Structure 1
Amino acid sequence: MKKIKLLHILTELQLTNGITSYVMNHYQRLDHDKFQVDFLIVKTADQKYIDMIEKHQDRIIQAPRLSMKNYAKFVKHAKTLFTENNYDIVHSHEFNWGMPYLVEAKKKGIAVRIFHAHATQSSPSLVKKIRNALLIPKTIHAATDLWSCSEVAGKFFFKDKPFYLSHNAIDYERFLFNQEYRDDIRSILNLEKDIKLIGFFGRFEAQKNPMQTLDVFKELLILRKDVHLLMVGGGSLEPKLLEFISENNMDQFVTMFSPRRDIYKFYSAIDLFMLPSLYEGLPVVGVEALFSNLKQVYSTNITRELNLIDSITYLPLDLSVDMWARKVSQLLDQKSERVLKSSDKLNIYKIDYQAKMVEEKYLSFFKGA
């Protein structure tokens, strides 16, 4: 049987990137006897994913450096890419720099061109919003199929157009509460048993709003000292975060780690997960926190679709950080059962189920061909 050639278009292949997690969770479970997969990225790839892709004799392709000044280079690269490669499916997770690739794929007659929405806003920047308002319709027009990670993301991008819902699913068993993980990680952090640990896991970029987490934690320290903040991630805001921590004498209360391959262990160690994003589709870290049965505090910009077991508290970003801190403090004092008694309500976020659905969807495009 001739393999189906699939191209994924995404910014990077990094550990704390939600789109990366979606793509690679599915890639691990794909039938590699049926599919040959390329990954087109503009940034970097973690060695874990490089090894995984090389193991299956697939490829990572580097696109031009991410910059609107390079737009002509993207167009030229897209023409070269689709002249040299006969793809059956192009699955784009990018609406801005990915646009010329979908457009060129359409010109080359590639039968299946998927645009996959992962957010509920195109950018926090007004200038970029205006730019993206021009790019998004072109991306949609170049696609044959529209996909979304959530209802809210799909409605934002596609309005009344029909779309296929492909949930952000995970290998959930790794994220179930584990006392050994909790003890090990808290020992590494040198935390006493009565210390309440708050977690922020994600990219240190404007969208994820990590500064809000630090602002809230600063206020929380005024209320109580039996707390510690763990931030795991990386990104352009890291220097600013470190400067804030130092200037406010919070060094002994905050620990920052680079992206980790064993991040699943850290969910068991924390007592509350915080994600005050400016916008989201459906965050993978939120799904991971669900299976760990954690108390969670999110901005109201994150979809209620995630709140399947009523473990999430939503707060508006225009609410004072003092009120955020008071709510976090209240939640930390509430007793809760960490062991998830049943995960049936979360079945849609289990990767084995979703991966089978996505593979069948891919194959359905070619039935009878």
Structure 2
Amino acid sequence: MEKEPVRVLQIIGIVCGGGVEAVIMNYYRHINRNKIQFDFVVDGYEKTILDDEIESLGGKVYHVEPYKKNIFRYMSQIYHIVYDNHYDIVHSNMNTLSVFSLFPAWLAGAHQRILHNHSTAVRSEGMRSIMKMILRPFAPLFANRYAACSHLAGDWMYGKKMMASGRVTVINNAIDLDEYAFSQELREKYRQEFNIPADAFVVGHVGRFMYQKNHAFLIDVFREVARQESKAILMLVGDGELRPEIEQKVAFYGLSDKVRFLGLRKDVKSLYNCMDVFVLPSWYEGLPVVSVEAQANGLLSIFSDRITKESLLTSSASFLSLDRGSKAWASYLLHNYDGRNKNALTELRNAGFDIKERTTFLEDWYDRE
């Protein structure tokens, strides 16, 4: 009789079309599902853009009460999912909030309780930062395995001493590099679809509309770009609570005809082909998967200096200080654009970000305990 695959319960929170769920789905699509199968816990009772794909790959999707609405109901539902379905491995990707999923998983008898940190924090985020700082000491309490997307994210969550001990595993935010390779055919297709001229200069960004991603600064940067380059277009992929505020700022600057709000998309990997430059001015990150995707497409990629230096994976990526201001950012991206990086895929493979190689590592990692 053929052995049933080991089922891993992935807790990912809100599905917003990128970030953490993109990382987990990249691994899920390529992992040997005869050996390891993923099931998912997502916040909210509405169907997400991932449900159909997960189920087509043999996984289950559990919709639960969002923790922000009722944390006790959320924890109770996690407990019953783990207990009733006999999950032995629970992999929480909720950063400091993982205490609220790993505690019920511990009560329900899960033997492997994985805390996976994907982010850091900044003081200027207000109450969100305060809550992260309060919860950080508690997040690892009910975990017995530890992971992070980068050394920076690991240092922030666990401390440098624990990172140095080797107890924390860095799981690269790997992608299918070949799927993100530049395609002239897709570039022409999408520019035609969005009514973007072939000679337009397209600045791109992928990210949820939230404080962390710093969209307000990005709009300031693009305003300066548009002043110098009349054919400039800004593509914003994603959605979130701050989108209306950013739309208002775009309208106030008189840029509505130059900015494309694309919302949540399933074809993000193809959209990179439409861009010329990728900009990520985040206040903080762990190691953003969009930084890997953009570099794989060969784009000139400009990141804020608040992002881990581990994101610098190819010769086409650079860091700029947010303190330099929007004019300096605009000048940099306009004067440093020089077409696609043709060596991008080789550079990323050498850096260990090819999902086809990293899934084997993850399969073995789940099997170690």
CA–CA separation in structure 2 for the residues paired with 1:331 and 1:36: 44
How far off its partner does 1:194 sit? Answer: 2.7
Q: Which residue of 1 aligns with 2:41?
A: 40
- Quickly say closer, same or farther: Cα 1:147–1:263, change in 2 above 3 A: same
**Do 2:31 and 2:359's aligned partners in 1 also have CA atoms closer than 8 Å?**
yes
| Matched residue, 1:58 | 59
1:361 alignment partner in structure 2: 365
Deviation at 1:351, TM superposition (A): 0.8
1:345 is displaced (CA, Å) by: 4.4
Q: Which residue of 1 aligns with 2:282?
A: 277
1:91 maps onto 2:91 in alignment:
yes
Q: Distance in 2 between matches of 1:322 and 1:262?
A: 31
1:142 partner SS: coil
Q: Secondary structure at the match of 1:114?
A: strand
Structure 1: how far apart are the matches of 2:132 and 2:341? Answer: 42
Asked whether the equivalents of residues 281 and 302 of structure 1 are also in contact (C-alpha less than 8 Å), the reply is yes
- Check the 8 A contact 1:209/1:277 in 2, yes or no: yes
Query: Is 1:246 paired with 2:246?
Result: no
Contact (CA 8 Å) 1:199, 1:230: kept in 2 or not?
Answer: yes
1:235 maps to which of 234, 240, 249:
240
Q: Displacement of 1:341 after TM fit?
A: 6.8
Tell me, what secondary structure is at the counterpart of 1:251?
Answer: coil
Unaligned runs of 5+ in 1: none
Secondary structure, in 3 states, of the residue corresponding to 1:249? coil
| CA drift at 1:230 | 1.0
Amino acid corresponding to residue 179 of structure 1 in structure 2: Q
The one-letter amino acid of 2:336's match is: L
Gaps of 5+ in 2: none
- Look up the match of 1:22: 23
Partner Cα distance (1:210, 1:341) in 2: 26
- Alpha-carbon distance between aligned partners in 2 of 1:80 and 1:88, rounded to the nearest angstrom: 13
The alpha-carbon deviation at position 2 of structure 1 amounts to: 4.3
Contact 2:92 2:116 in 1 (8 A): yes
Maintained 8 Å contact 1:177/1:293: yes
| Corresponding residue of 1:11 | 13
CA change 1:266–1:44 in 2 (3 A) is farther
Q: Is the 1:14–1:46 contact (alpha carbons within 8 Å) kept by the matching residues of 2?
A: no
Q: Which moved more, 1:172-181 or 1:182-191?
A: 182-191
Residue 156 of structure 2 aligns to a residue in which SS? helix
Displacement, 1:329?
2.0
Instruction: Output the CA distance in 2 between the equivalents of 1:172 and 1:30.
Output: 15
- Whether the 8 Å contact between 1:277 and 1:299 is mirrored in structure 2 is yes
Instruction: Measure the CA separation in 2 of the matches of 1:244 and 1:206.
Output: 15
| Matched-pair contact (CA < 8 Å) for 1:43–1:66 | no
Amino acid at match of 1:340: N
2:343 aligned counterpart, secondary structure: coil
Moved more, 50-59 or 145-154: 50-59
Amino acid at match of 1:13: V
**After alignment, is 107-116 or 272-281 more displaced?**
107-116
CA RMSD of aligned residues (A): 2.1
Deviation string 1:76-116 (CA, Å, 9 cap, x unpaired) is 33333333231110100113443122112223332111100
Q: Which one of 340, 345, 350 corresponds to residue 343 of structure 2? A: 340
**Partner residue of 1:78?**
78
- 1:131 corresponds to which letter in structure 2? M
Shift of the 45–163 alpha-carbon distance from structure 1 to 2, 3 Å rule, reads farther
TM-score, length basis structure 1? 0.91
Q: Could you tell me whether the CA contact under 8 Å between 2:4 and 2:34 is conserved in 1?
A: no
Task: Indicate whether 1:351 and 2:355 are aligned.
Answer: yes
Identical residues among aligned pairs (%) = 28
Q: Is the 8 A contact 1:5 1:87 kept in 2?
A: yes
